[in-house]
Amino acid sequence: MHIPDGFIPIPQGIVYWVIALVFIALALRWAKNEMTDEKIPLIAVLAAAIFALQSFNIPVSMGTSGHLVGGALAAIVLGSPFAAVFILTLVLIVQGVLFGDGGITVMGANIINMGVIGGFGGFYGFKGLMAATKNISISAFIAAWLACLVPALAAAVELSLAGSFPFEVGMIAMGAYHAAIGIIEGLVTVIAINLILRVRPDMVDFSRPAASGVVS
C-alpha cells in the first residue's frame, strides 16, 4: 500500500510529513528510553525481515497481490507501537530513496499509515485480544489483519481528500483487497512471533515475566 509520488498534492504531503515527524520524534524518544543492547539484535533482524517480506507479493485473487507490512509484528514483539514507527520509517526510507517503492513527497503519509496506524492498531489490538482470548496466535492473527486493513482504509481516505480516488470506490476496493491481503499479514505475523518465541522467548516483550505485558 505504498502511495507513490503524484497521488497526493505536495501541500497535503507536507501536512502528512509534519504529523509523521511528530511520531518519529516520539519513536526516537521511545528508542532513547527503551533501547538496550538486548533489544538491538531483534530490532535489526525485524528490519531486514520486514524489508525482505515486503518484496514478496503473494496473489490474493481479484487480479491483485499483497505482502506483509509488518507494523503489528514489530509492535507486538517489541512491546510498543513506537517500535513499529521506528522500524517502518527506516524501511520506508530505504524503499523510497533507493528502490522507488513509495514516494518521497508522500512518505509522511506512508509512515503514518503503515508505521503509526499499523503499529498502534496492531499493538493495542493484540493487547485487547490477549485479555479476551488469552491465545497468542489468535490475538496476533486478528490484530495483524486489522493492522493491514485499517491503514489501507486510512490511505483510501487520504487519497480521497487528495482527489485521486473517489471516496466510495477507494474505500470498497482498498477494503476488499486489504481484507484479503490481511490474511497474509496475520499468518506471517503468527509464524514470525512463534518462531522468535521458540528460539528467544526472552526477547519477546509479552513473554518476559517482568514485562508490564499482556499475559500476566
Contact set for other proteins, span 21-60 (CB under 8 A): 28, 31-33, 35-53, 55-59
14 touching other proteins, by CB under 8 A: no
189 touching other proteins, by CB under 8 A: no
114 or 116: CB nearest other proteins: 114
Which amino acid, 8? I
194 touching other proteins, by CB under 8 A: no
24 or 130: CB nearest other proteins: 24
94 or 132: CB nearest other proteins: 94
Contact string (CB under 8 A) for other proteins, positions 134-173, x = contact: ------------------x--xx-----xxxxx--xx-xx
Q: Shortest gap between Cβ of 124 and other proteins (angstroms)?
A: 23
Concatenated DSSP letters for 117-134?
Answer: IHHHHHHHHHHHHHHHH-
Candidates 20, 129, 144, 174; binder of other proteins (CB under 8 A) is 174
Spatial distance between the Cα atoms of 142 and 140, rounded to a whole number of angstroms: 6
Terminal Cα-to-Cα distance of the chain (whole angstroms):
35
Q: Shortest gap between Cβ of 35 and other proteins (angstroms)?
A: 4
216 touching other proteins, by CB under 8 A: no
Spatial distance between the Cα atoms of 142 and 129, rounded to a whole number of angstroms: 8
H or E element, residue 53: helix 40-54
35 or 138: CB nearest other proteins: 35
161-164: list long-range contacts, CB under 8 Å, 24+ apart. Answer: 161/12, 162/7, 162/8, 162/9, 162/12, 163/9, 164/7, 164/8
114 touching other proteins, by CB under 8 A: no
66 touching other proteins, by CB under 8 A: yes
C-alpha distances (whole Å) from 16 to each of 44, 76, 147 are 26, 25, 19
Per-residue DSSP letter, 59: E
